[in-house]
DNA sequence: GACTGTGAAGCCATTCACAGCT
DNA sequence: AGCTGTGAATGGCTTCACAGTC
């Protein structure tokens, strides 16, 4: 088992393997081979084995992997053996969708609070959560032990929101605003940019297609 | 100018440069250097020049790039000099957010229709759009010339929706369901998986941090 | 016989460093 | 002098292929 320098692509796939394993486990599958995982998630068997090898030897030669065990290992590696309190800032359509998005309220994640500075929104409810003003961010972040923030505000407010989050102990930010955040070295950020993905599609429909003429 | 084999990472960045250039243009900036673009979007200057070089020579040595021209070139390359009709399938919270998400109704994209098979939703309105039953997908897809589909349904329905889309002329699919779609060779698909990005954050907070102890 | 784990090879993307223009 | 465009070097990820194990 060697560690250090795990490619981010490996972590991405690990997250996908992990969810696939949960599905297998729910279906009562006991053992799975790298080839079956590969088939299920659309990568090569060697890739699956290489990825897992960054973290240990989880399989049995000639047999494969125990689904339940490997699922637990992947969850542990991804840090999902603990609970993570999330705060969402921005209660527009996107923030609303994210708050009610079931996928965020599983696998160790729990949305603790939603913030918005629009006075028309503060006080309204999204499911069990009341929309709070940003003025209460510091106290809520501390009480709820919020270490991950989700930014769902327009570009112009994104950096300001990030700064407030970081000042109040947030260690990692998932940013839906299409702008890069400038943050200290030790803060983790990732952007989710839906438009970029759309434009990859149109590029491929146009430009690549034109080349193969 | 050499072409063939443009890395997908280059296309991703091109989309980001393009949006950055729009911002510069709105602010009245005339000329920009690779270093300034790099600074603005968080990559290296050499990377910016290399990326652009895949598509031509757009700059002037000693000077830089003309903002308006380069913006137009990037839009053209990305296929955004034409209009793209989108159809969204799934009018749950995510579909609702996507339908009203302003970022999708700019840069050449236009949401033409929203579909859902829940009888309780069919007939309701999201802004200007009435939610349609999937039974009308074929005729609407044809009339509106829909070539791009967005899947915002649960995992269990995603493949079925993809099949219907493809049967009715859709060429590219943006899939928000966390499952790989199986599609013919010539169909473009990309997944937007928000949970994966979250799990990269928790991995980095946990695993990577543990290694540096 | 089947499947994992892994060094080596191959491939792809990024960075470097500088020649070429303005 | 300043900045682009690009071949060469580097670095990193993926695939190959096979030894090791059950």
CA dist A101 and B102 (Å) reads 19
- Based on the fold, state whether residues B69 and B103 are members of the same structural domain: no
Nucleotide nearest to B63 (CA to C1'): D3
CB contact under 8 A, A148 and B97: no
- Based on the fold, state whether residues A88 and A49 are members of the same structural domain: no
* CA distances (Å), origin B98, targets A171, B92, B137, B152: 28, 10, 18, 9
Nearest to A194 among B192, B200, B206 (CB): B192
In a domain, A123, yes or no: yes
Q: How many structural domains does chain A have? A: 2
- Based on the fold, state whether residues A63 and A140 are members of the same structural domain: no
- Based on the fold, state whether residues B122 and B138 are members of the same structural domain: yes
Q: Which nucleotides of D are covered by protein (CB under 7 A)?
A: 1-7, 12-17, 20-22
Q: Mind listing the pLDDT tens digit of every residue in chain A (213 residues)? A: 344 689 999 999 999 999 999 999 999 999 999 999 999 999 999 999 999 999 999 999 999 999 999 999 999 999 999 999 999 999 998 899 899 887 777 899 999 999 999 999 999 999 999 999 999 999 999 999 999 999 999 999 999 999 999 999 999 999 999 899 999 989 999 999 889 999 999 999 987 667 654
Confidence check: pLDDT of B139 > 50: yes
In a domain, B208, yes or no: no
pLDDT tens-digit series, residues A19-51: 999 999 999 999 999 999 999 999 999 999 999
Gap from A190 CA to chain B (nearest CA, Å):
7
CA dist B166 and B157 (Å) reads 14
> What residues make up the domain containing A32?
8-77
- Model pLDDT, residue A211: 61
- Model pLDDT, residue B101: 81
Chain A residues whose beta carbon lies within 8 Å of the beta carbon of residue B75: none
* CA distances (Å), origin A37, targets A129, A131, A201, B154, B179: 38, 41, 27, 21, 13
- Based on the fold, state whether residues B136 and B189 are members of the same structural domain: yes
Confidence check: pLDDT of B147 > 90: yes
Distance B76 CA to D13 C1' (A): 31
* A132 three-class SS: strand
Task: Tokens for A198, please give them.
Answer: 């759309």
Confidence check: pLDDT of B104 > 60: yes
Q: Report the protein residue whose CA lies nearest the C1' of nucleotide D19.
A: A61
pLDDT tens-digit series, residues B6-57: 999 999 999 999 999 999 999 999 999 999 999 999 999 999 999 999 999 9
- Based on the fold, state whether residues A73 and A99 are members of the same structural domain: no
Chain A residues whose beta carbon lies within 8 Å of the beta carbon of residue B98: 97, 194
In a domain, B1, yes or no: no
Mutate to test the interface with A, among B198, B205, B207 (most CBs of A within 10 A): B198
**Residue A184's CATH number:** 3.40.50.720
- Based on the fold, state whether residues A155 and A94 are members of the same structural domain: yes
pLDDT tens-digit series, residues B152-173: 999 999 999 999 999 999 999 9
In a domain, A172, yes or no: yes
SS3 sequence of chain B: CCCCCCCHHHHHHHHHHHHHHHHHHHCCCCEECHHHHHHHHCCCHHHHHHHHHCCCCCCECCCEEEHHHHHHHHHHHCCCCCCEEEEEECCCHHHHHHHHCHHHCCCCEEEEEEECCCCCCCCCEECCEEEECHHHHHHHHHHCCCCEEEECCCHHHHHHHHHHHHHCCCCEEEECCCCCCCCCCCCEEEECCHHHHHHHHHHHHHHHHHHCC
Q: Report the protein residue whose CA lies nearest the C1' of nucleotide C6.
A: A50
Chain A residues whose beta carbon lies within 8 Å of the beta carbon of residue B39: none
Distance B54 CA to D6 C1' (A): 11
pTM of the model: 0.92
Band (pLDDT 50/70/90 cuts) for residue B1 is very low
């Amino acid at each position: 088992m060697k560690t250090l320098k795990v490619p981010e692509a490996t972590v991405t796939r690990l997250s996908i393997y992990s969810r696939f394993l949960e599905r297998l486990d729910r279906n009562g599958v006991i053992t799975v081979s790298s080839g079956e995982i590969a088939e299920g998630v659309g990568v090569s068997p060697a890739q699956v084995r290489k990825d897992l090898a960054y973290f240990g030897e989880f399989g049995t030669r000639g047999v494969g992997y125990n689904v339940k065990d490997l699922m637990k290992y992947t969850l542990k590696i991804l840090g999902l053996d603990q609970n993570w309190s999330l705060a969402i800032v921005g209660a527009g359509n996107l923030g609303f969708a994210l708050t009610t998005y079931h996928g965020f309220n599983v696998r160790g994640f729990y949305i603790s609070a939603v913030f918005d500075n629009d006075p028309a929104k503060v006080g309204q409810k999204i499911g069990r959560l009341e929309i709070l003003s940003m003025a209460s961010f510091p106290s809520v972040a501390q009480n709820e032990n919020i270490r991950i923030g989700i930014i769902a505000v327009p570009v112009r407010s994104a950096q300001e929101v990030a700064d407030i989050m970081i000042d109040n102990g947030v260690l990692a930010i998932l940013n839906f605003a299409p702008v890069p955040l400038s943050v200290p070295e030790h803060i983790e950020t990732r952007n989710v940019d839906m438009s970029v993905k759309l434009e990859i599609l149109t590029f491929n429909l146009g430009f690549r297609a034109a080349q193969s003429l």
